Structure 1
Amino acid sequence: MSKANTPVTRRRVIQTLGAGAGLLLCGLRAPAIAKPRRLIIISDLNAAQAPAFQAIAAEFGRQSGTEVIVNNIAHEANKTAIRNYLVADPPDICFWFSGQRMRQFVGMGLFSDISDLVEHEGIDRALGPLLDTVSIDGRQYGLPVGGLFWGLFYREDVFREHGLTPPETFEDFYRTCYRAKAQGLVPVAMGTKDQWPAAGWFDHLNLRINGLETHMALMEGRVAYSDTIFDPVFEQWRDMIQQDFFLDHGTSYAWQQAAAFLARKKAAMMDLSTFLQSVMPPGQEGELKLIRFPTYDASVGPYEDFSSNSIHIPQRAQQKALAREFLAYFYQPDVLARFLAPIGTVPPRNDMPVPDDPLTKTATGLLRASAGSAQYFDRDTHPAMAWAGLKGFQKFSVYPSQGKEIRQELDRIRTRVTTST
């Protein structure tokens, strides 16, 4: 009887198992059973963007023979949960923020260095100045995935009706504000009920007057707020407050309520980001225009605020090699464009097509023409310092004469933060 016709009996099974056991005892390995490729991702995307990312993940899974599991959780919930899961049960990929918030987790040993991937894929060249937002000492720990450009907004029809000119310099800005006031307009709508819009105004003033390097030294706690180098920033801001350029009782208005003054043609300008178009009346969105925050010193900048989210590989991820495969795929210009399309955000790569949306197109052009960028204030500095700064800038917008005391209080927090880290 041939082997092919040998009946399967209990004795035959035992003999076969015995032969396998003999191979192991002799130091030879039995054929290994291949483990399935599985990639686990935690995202915090909104309802518009989550389906696009799911489709990209599924596409990568089909092409690479990988089971990709995407757990999408609410954005605010992720803020609370991320530190715990990065330590206790990290995914292979997660979403977070660029800038200081990323650097905190790198300092805790929670994000993986992906500098070799960035260089190999040519991402460093494609990001240009934005590379700094995900870098520490020249090493990269994430990839920016689009973000918000902050600048000066105005309604074109209002400027046309009142004979106003979009300001390029601070001298222009003052002339525009004086003319707006004379015609019954609020020169600048700013609502500081939620504090952070005042911090954005500080960012822009400091970037224009002192430049990016000094601004980041302040954000990182290496320079004191009371340093005389920042005197011109607070003096310029105080003068504009005393000239009544800003919305009266600004602390009573959230940003949407302040933006309503611009939308209803009662204010001339507003310093915010592209989400401002959401408050425009239907059919009038095209009247909203964006320009660069005015130049203070022609020798400085232009440096901009561009707050970007980012994608990372946790340091304790189980599938780091597979995660790198996914990032290389996901960060291709055409794939990343599909990810960003539902929300119309500014693309981080300079080799990606410019979006069709007029405001996003303008923002993209301004960002690519910048000399460098910061994040927004509360993303660039230590959380305790950010909270104190938001509170202090809001107070300054009401009581500019207390600038010295406010800066001393900020330095007290800065000292505490820097000595405890």
Structure 2
Amino acid sequence: MIQIQLVLQSGLWLLFVLCGGRPGPNRLKCVSRPSTHLRTKEKNRMSTSLRHTRRDFLRFSGGLSASILAVACVTPGADTGTDDTAGEPAVEKEQILVWDQFGEDSVGVNEIVVKFNEAHPEYHVTREAQTNMRDILKTSLDAGAGPDVMYYDTGPGFAGVLARAGLLLPLDDAYEQYAWNERILPIARERASFDGVTYGIGNELEIVGTFYNERIFDEQGLAAPDTHDDFLAVCEALKAQDIIPMAWGNQNKWPAGHTFSVFSGNIAGKDNLAAAISGELAWNEPDFVESIQIPFVDMVDAGYYNTDINAVTYDDSNLLFYSGQAAMRLTGSWMVDGYTNPDNITDPVGFFFYPSIREKVIAPPAGLGSGYFVGRDAQSPEGAFAYLNFLFSDETIGDWLEGMAMIPPVRLNADDYSISDLLRFTIIEIQQNAESMGFNIDVLTPDNYNTMMFDGFQEVIGKVKTAQEQADDLEAAMQEAIERGTVMDITP
């Protein structure tokens, strides 16, 4: 049977090429007839009359191989199941290719896909996990070989780039068609909109704060601190017992961006941070310099983190926390599942927002993990919209919460679900205090700014540049982004 399948596939590929096809990108995708819903297809996409990819081959071979196998498997005199009333051809499913970053073996997301395919027999979703999405997505979409639906970062330096390049379908009409505004939280739409047009649905509501090992705190007679000075005192007490106060790995660079978001929100405040992100307040103002100085210089010099911060990965810093070598971890609620998994850590884990600095009102970062978008060249926009609608329907909320410990962008009652106390706390905080929370800076700032932020913070930690120099460089990067027109205005 395997030999027959290989011969059949090879023959089909040769036949496809001889008929005018050309091998395309090395990926599998089956796409059916194009649709014109919510857009004029000929106006928005490049001509495909002479371009053939593996999606065309799979469509071509899918129907042909089915016909060949149907004939090959019928023995003489066998009942073909046809009669005078049964001659209608089988309806071809509309194929939808989804790229995300959850991992191929993500049980929760795979379950959602299965449910969708069962509930919508006219469509078939194929999901592919892409670990290098940022590197390949734009190029693939440009070439007409990208996914129909993608799960991607929502910021102007990510999805915003795709939107301005004309590679995404607007979803404003879909929001009306499916009444998404009635159940999708406003932030999920706002953060996926660019230049007044909505392109996606943001997902994974999250907050950033401090997780701590409750066993260690109890044994050392410590409590969650109320002020920055109290926090420093906790760090000193832990260090005196040869316990790493805070685990931090910044080899991946982006963790420093979240740390900067925490301190900028607490020192500069939510309104000033929004103004800076929008290009209306300079990043080298004293509050932002201090927001760099305290975590990247002062606390490093005081020994409140593990050594070799820039050489330690994010995952390895989590291992320091799991093992009890470190008592605290400044990170986001996306780690709730990991920190409540007894296979990772058996000690109970608590959470507090980083405390007030100089009696200022805290503005802990809150935002979205990523968002779902539909490609301009999606072969079935209706199917893509139906899939997005299903992702955040009553049928799937439990999959997100109970199966993956992720918070979907919908109005919900946390008590209706079997979830951890940490996740329930996160949901309640977001629902009750969203208006007072700050921002994850790198999700909202342009790509050139983020590059300066990530590279520059490593240099500050490594004593290559000062906090003031980094703040000056951040402001220069923002001015460059303003000239390019890639800055998002998030001010009220």
**TM-score category (smaller protein):** 0.7 to 0.9
Q: TM-score, normalised by structure 1?
A: 0.78
Relative to 1, partners in 2 of residues 1:59 and 1:296: Cα closer, same or farther, differing over 3 Å?
Answer: farther
Q: Is the Cα contact below 8 Å between 2:366 and 2:434 reproduced in 1?
A: no
The match for 1:55 is 114
Q: Give the Cα separation in 1 of the matches to 2:337 and 2:482.
A: 39
Write out aligned runs for 1:214-293 (5 A).
214-237=272-295, 238-273=297-332, 274-275=334-335, 278=338, 282=343, 284-293=345-354
355-364 or 150-159: which moved more? 355-364
Write out aligned runs for 1:127-276 (5 A).
127-136=185-194, 139-146=197-204, 148-237=206-295, 238-273=297-332, 274-275=334-335
Cα deviations by residue, 1:240-268 (Å, 9 ceiling, x for unpaired): 33433233332232233333333333332
Q: Give the Cα separation in 2 of the matches to 1:371 and 1:340.
A: 19
Structure 1 position 153, deviation (Å): 0.8
The match for 2:138 is 83
Q: Give the Cα separation in 1 of the matches to 2:344 and 2:321.
A: 15
Structure 1 position 367, deviation (Å): 2.6
Structure 1 position 154, deviation (Å): 0.6
2:355 to 294, 299, 305: 294
Q: TM-score, normalised by structure 2?
A: 0.68
Partner SS for 1:73: strand
Q: Give the Cα separation in 1 of the matches to 2:128 and 2:378.
A: 19
The match for 2:68 is none
Cα deviations by residue, 1:251-301 (Å, 9 ceiling, x for unpaired): 232233333333333332110234376488748445122222323376645
121-130 or 140-149: which moved more? 121-130
Q: Give the Cα separation in 2 of the matches to 1:262 and 1:93.
A: 36
Match of 2:185, as an amino acid? L
Q: Is the Cα contact below 8 Å between 1:164 and 1:180 reproduced in 2?
A: no
Relative to 1, partners in 2 of residues 1:356 and 1:402: Cα closer, same or farther, differing over 3 Å?
Answer: same
Is residue 2:470 matched to residue 1:402? no
Cα deviations by residue, 1:168-206 (Å, 9 ceiling, x for unpaired): 332332232233233333322222232222222111111
Relative to 1, partners in 2 of residues 1:115 and 1:296: Cα closer, same or farther, differing over 3 Å?
Answer: farther
The match for 1:19 is none
1:357 to 420, 430, 437: 420
The match for 1:411 is 475
Match of 1:312, as an amino acid? F
Match of 1:234, as an amino acid? I
Match of 1:76, as an amino acid? T
Cα deviations by residue, 1:300-340 (Å, 9 ceiling, x for unpaired): 45442444121122234343344333333332133243355
1:96 to 133, 152, 156: 152
The match for 1:11 is none
Match of 1:51, as an amino acid? N
The match for 2:164 is 107
343-352 or 332-341: which moved more? 332-341
Relative to 1, partners in 2 of residues 1:370 and 1:134: Cα closer, same or farther, differing over 3 Å?
Answer: farther
The match for 1:30 is none
Write out aligned runs for 1:329-340 (5 A).
329-339=390-400
Match of 2:328, as an amino acid? M
Structure 1 position 147, deviation (Å): 5.2
Q: Is the Cα contact below 8 Å between 2:151 and 2:372 reproduced in 1?
A: yes
Q: Give the Cα separation in 2 of the matches to 1:300 and 1:107.
A: 36
Q: Based on CA coordinates, which of the two structures has the bigger radius of gyration?
A: 1
Is residue 2:198 matched to residue 1:118? no
Partner SS for 2:222: coil
Relative to 1, partners in 2 of residues 1:134 and 1:213: Cα closer, same or farther, differing over 3 Å?
Answer: farther
Q: Give me the identity figure in percent.
A: 19
Relative to 1, partners in 2 of residues 1:370 and 1:105: Cα closer, same or farther, differing over 3 Å?
Answer: farther
Relative to 1, partners in 2 of residues 1:259 and 1:287: Cα closer, same or farther, differing over 3 Å?
Answer: same
115-124 or 183-192: which moved more? 115-124
The match for 1:311 is 372
Structure 1 position 162, deviation (Å): 0.2
- Which consecutive residues of structure 2, in runs of 5 or more, have no partner in the other structure? 1-88, 486-492
